[in-house]
Amino acid sequence: MRQRTRWARGLIQLINLHIKMFMNPRYGIVGMVMMPYNFFFELLAPIIETLGVIFYILLIITGDVNWPYAIILLIFVYTYAVMIATLAVLWDQLTFQYYRSWLDVVRICSMAFFETIIYHPLNVIFALRGYIFHITGKTHTWGNMQRRGFKQKTNVEVKPSVS
């Protein structure tokens, strides 16, 4: 959560700091390709997705959803997302053999079924959180970015043995 929030906050700071580069041919590929890509597909994507979900909820409330087509679209989008994630893992395994066994590959590919409904929505929420932190000025510093892992070290005092 902290990492994704920090990345989103960093992205909005980067766009704000270098807005002169946006669609400016003087900066070459960075100005004409990378800045627009980061703005439209990284910065705006969580905002557009959230507005889309809100709009869809409003359509459900007002009864303006064509349910047969909505269900077909939902199944298609979900299946497509799972397929793309699975193909990416399989291609990596065939090309670079990152994983020790095919059982590991199957386990990772099975996670693709949960990515769309758990992992991705959390990333959107954390990105929005980073934007809100930036806009409200809640956090001004980057904070401690030391990698801690999952286990916290405990300070155990070792007493010298008396012989």
- Per residue of the chain (163 residues), what is the pLDDT tens digit? 999 999 999 999 999 999 999 999 999 999 999 999 999 999 999 999 999 999 999 999 999 999 999 999 999 999 999 999 999 999 999 999 988 899 999 999 999 999 999 999 999 999 999 999 999 988 667 667 677 677 765 555 555 555 4
What size, in residues, is the chain?
163
For the record, the structure tokens of 92 come out as: 């990596």
Residue 10: the pLDDT is: 93
The predicted model scores a pTM of 0.78
- The answer for residues whose C-beta is within 8 angstroms of residue 58's C-beta and 6 or more apart is none
**What CA–CA distances, in Å, run from 10 to 85, 134, 146, 149?**
26, 9, 17, 22
C-beta separation of 53 from 29 below 8 A: no
C-beta separation of 25 from 32 below 8 A: yes
Tens digits of residue pLDDT in 13-31: 999 999 999 999 999 999 9
Tens digits of residue pLDDT in 65-93: 999 999 999 999 999 999 999 999 999 99
The Cα–Cα gap between 137 and 109 comes to: 39
Helix axes 67-96, 102-114, angle to 10 degrees: 150
